[in-house]
Amino acid sequence: MTLVDVEGHVPIRRLIARAVARDTLPPSLMLTGPDGVGKRRVAVAIAKMLNCEAGTAPGADGPAASPDACGVCAACDRIARCVHTDVIIIEPGETGSIKVDAVRAAVDQTAFRPFEGRRRVVIVDDADRLVSEAQNALLKTLEEPPAASVFLLVTSRPHLLLATVRSRCPELRFGGLGTDEIADLLVTRHQFDATAALAAAASADGSVARALETGSGDYIEARQSAADLLRAFATASSPKRRLETGKELASVRRGSRSSAAADRETLTGRLRALGTLLRDLQLVSARGDRAWLANGDCEAELAELAPAYDTDRARRGFASVERAISALSRNASPKVVVDWLALQL
């Protein structure tokens, strides 16, 4: 099983192939999507690409040929049989969970150079089964990834992972359509203009229905509020000013239909947008490949915000936003949530 043997997921495969060719694959990635769509197979294919002895073989994706593993050399063969010393697969044991010992053992190995291959690849399958202690052990490594190692977290339930872990891992969503595919459909079948289509697709979680439901206007509005907030917080240091600015986030446009439930939904949408911006800012600060940006259409805005939000601040911000969204879903008061968040970002 090499990358070209994986069915479907063409945009994801292209993205990976390009990243491997340019050596811009992030040191940690989360592969998410429903069970049975091939996430783990793609993770194994990545491990092969990074270690194949044939180097880069031409892919079968047409003229924009992508590198892929050969699938037959000794390294590919050993990876396929799960006996390659540099490709570590961690999965739930008999208890159904992944204990801290398994993670520590893998992390210890990443301190050394790969034994036989070029890159060490740690695949954590069913990563949502990591006990919190194990996630914390992993987190330290994700924060300072060892040079020759790549961590691939495979999960159908990413929301069960700590926000701090998720914030370190750009996400590859399987099972749904890619952002570009959705944007194309919105333009060709639903009369969106290109900018609005990209914005709606970015927030759609792989679903055209959700993109249409969210409506490009809503997402653009939510993202604009979120970006305004980040811009204001970049310089606002006094708690008083922060609380004032935070209020904007919970404010509702006059004239729009308003009820407690609708206001809560609007706020949640803005927080989601805030989360995607903060995750993108980490990528910009780390000078990652722009292909991994969720808000690729706002590159200029992200570049403007990046000096104020270094990796550390953006990461902490993302974790706070996740906590705020989860508090809102448990019926916390929007005002309390926004005030708390205003002091964290």
Residues of the shown chain interacting with Zn ion in the complex, contacts defined by CB under 5 A: 52, 54, 69-70, 73, 76
- Least separation in angstroms between CB 4 and Zn ion: 13
Q: How far apart are the first and last CA of the chain?
A: 44
Q: Indicate the residue among 69 and 165 with the shorter CB distance to Zn ion.
A: 69
Residue 33 DSSP label: S
Instruction: Name the β-bridge partners of 75.
Output: none
* Amino acid, single-letter form, for residue 33: G
- Least separation in angstroms between CB 53 and Zn ion: 5
Side by side, the strands of the sheet bearing 171-173 are 87-90, 120-125, 149-155, 28-32, 171-173
- Least separation in angstroms between CB 57 and Zn ion: 8
- Least separation in angstroms between CB 3 and Zn ion: 12
Q: Indicate the residue among 70 and 148 with the shorter CB distance to Zn ion.
A: 70
Q: Indicate the residue among 46 and 52 with the shorter CB distance to Zn ion.
A: 52
- Least separation in angstroms between CB 69 and Zn ion: 5
Pairing between strand 120-125 and 149-155?
parallel
Q: Indicate the residue among 52 and 134 with the shorter CB distance to Zn ion.
A: 52
Helix (H) or strand (E) run with residue 31 in it: strand 28-32
| Residue in the block written with tokens 């803005």 | 270
Q: Indicate the residue among 69 and 134 with the shorter CB distance to Zn ion.
A: 69
Q: Indicate the residue among 85 and 195 with the shorter CB distance to Zn ion.
A: 85
- Least separation in angstroms between CB 87 and Zn ion: 12
Phi, psi of 281 (to 5 degrees): -65, -35
Say if CB 84 and CB 117 are below 8 A apart: yes
* Inter-axis angle of helices 260-285 and 311-329, nearest 10: 160
Q: Indicate the residue among 57 and 134 with the shorter CB distance to Zn ion.
A: 57
Cα 217 from Cα 226, distance rounded (Å):
14
Tokens of residue 250, six digits: 């919970």
* Amino acid, single-letter form, for residue 313: R
Cα 56 from Cα 279, distance rounded (Å):
31
- Least separation in angstroms between CB 161 and Zn ion: 31
